[in-house]
Chains A and B, each alone.
Chain A
Amino acid sequence: MTRLDALKAVYPTLEDKIVVTIMGAVSAELQSIGHRSNFFYLQHAMGLASSMGLGIALSRPEHTVVVFDGDGSILMNLGSLTTMARYRPANMVHVVFDNESLLSVGGFPTATATGSDIAALAAAAGVPRSCTVRSIDDFTRALDTALKARELTTIVAKVEAVGPAGYVTDLSMLENRFELQKWLRQH
């Protein structure tokens, strides 16, 4: 499964969700499918996308937040799994695209390449639901199940270590930031 195909498969589901992604490939690929005002791309601050999603989810329980994290990013902030688990917002789904590498800086293997299991880490941290998926069908089913369950879920989607040619898009970071704030004021 490629991350781009996985994103395309669930894109219609994201229409009314607040989406927070990590930097690099995930951000560029989601924008290539189609940017929306309720999508935010955290272009730096590796590790903090899940924290940011948690901040939005706790502040606005009437909205559903989907975080698109990565293996390298969550490994930089494993404590976030314990904080998410502690407050376990029912309106948050935490997706980790695990390509077992730091793709954007040359593909160096992360610890998931040598056996670290992020779904097991999430479960051990106390996240009520977690799973690992390896196909598009399993991924779309896992996301639908998590959204229907209304219980904090970490979905680890094992994806190929391939990405777009470049990561800079036409959307400026500040435009994206103020656009999401405005969307959240209006909804």
Chain B
Amino acid sequence: MIRLAVSPVSASSSRVIYDALKGCGIGLMSALPETWLVHLIRMADEDPEMILVRLAKEEEGVGISAGAHLAGVKSAMLMQNHGFLASINGIVSCAQLYRIPLLMLISYRGEFGERDPWQTEGGGVTEDLLRALRIPFVFLESQDHVSRRIHKAQTLAHSANKPVALLLCRDLMWEES
């Protein structure tokens, strides 16, 4: 069982993010568990209105979101930045090729403050890869702008019919100094 009680992952920030996604009409979330996402995945799991799809690998989520979009259901993808790295072919050759909006919430591991050495290479290339793929992105760093930025990201994803990314930053997601 996940030890939520001792986790410094911010439950209150996760709640603000989750409520914003619900406010955007998100009805399906795909997710691959990662430490920073535990509360968000639990909230989706406990929400009878949400279709939660737990994945084996993040790239599957691109196909699932594409299917949901054509079927009229708004979706979001929860993943770590290494999951974004693992999804790139799907993002390019499914979502971008077919003009599918994707709302990607990417936990931004490996930036300043990262203690896990294994996260640091992925952290170092995340923004450059998003730019190379011409995926618009914004940082979620504090609770006061979360709702506004998620709504704006969702609006652009659907008006442009393309993937957008929200980078979930340490200051928002982690309560340990």
Interface positions of A (Cβ within 8 A of B): 20, 40, 42-45, 47-60, 77, 79-80, 82-83, 86-87, 173-174, 177, 180-181, 184-185
Contacting pair A173 B63 (CB below 8 A): no
Chain B nearest Cβ from A27, distance in angstroms:
13
Chain B nearest Cβ from A73, distance in angstroms:
11
Chain A nearest Cβ from B36, distance in angstroms:
22
Interface: B130 (CB within 8 A): no
Contacting pair B97 A184 (CB below 8 A): no
Residues of A within 8 A of B156 (CB): none
Query: Contact size class for B?
Result: 20 to 34
Interface: B132 (CB within 8 A): no
Q: Which of B51, B53, B98 has the most CB of A within 10 A?
A: B98
Instruction: Output the nearest chain B residue to A56 by Cβ-Cβ distance.
Output: B67
B54 is contacted by which of A53, A56, A83, A181 (Cβ under 8 Å)?
A83
Instruction: Report Cα–Cα, A42/B100, bound state, in Å.
Output: 12
Interface: B43 (CB within 8 A): no
Residues of A within 8 A of B63 (CB): 42, 45, 47-52, 54-55, 80
Interface positions of B (Cβ within 8 A of A): 27-28, 51, 53-57, 59-73, 75, 89-90, 93-94, 97-100
Contacting pair B53 A79 (CB below 8 A): no
Contacting pair A79 B55 (CB below 8 A): yes
Residues of B within 8 A of A58 (CB): 28, 51, 53, 64, 67-68
Residues of A within 8 A of B100 (CB): 177
Chain A nearest Cβ from B78, distance in angstroms:
15
Contacting pair A79 B68 (CB below 8 A): no
Contacting pair B67 A51 (CB below 8 A): yes
Contacting pair B59 A77 (CB below 8 A): yes
Q: A48-B60, A58-B51, A79-B60 are in contact. Are A53 and B93 (CB under 8 A)?
A: no
Q: Which of B53, B64, B73, B94 has the most CB of A within 10 A?
A: B64
Contacting pair A52 B67 (CB below 8 A): yes
Residues of B within 8 A of A40 (CB): 70
Residues of B within 8 A of A185 (CB): 72
A-B contact pairs, 26 of them (CB 8 A): A44-B93, A45-B62, A45-B63, A45-B94, A45-B97, A47-B59, A48-B63, A49-B63, A51-B62, A55-B63, A55-B68, A56-B67, A58-B68, A59-B67, A77-B57, A79-B60, A83-B56, A83-B60, A87-B53, A173-B97, A173-B98, A174-B98, A177-B98, A181-B72, A184-B71, A185-B72
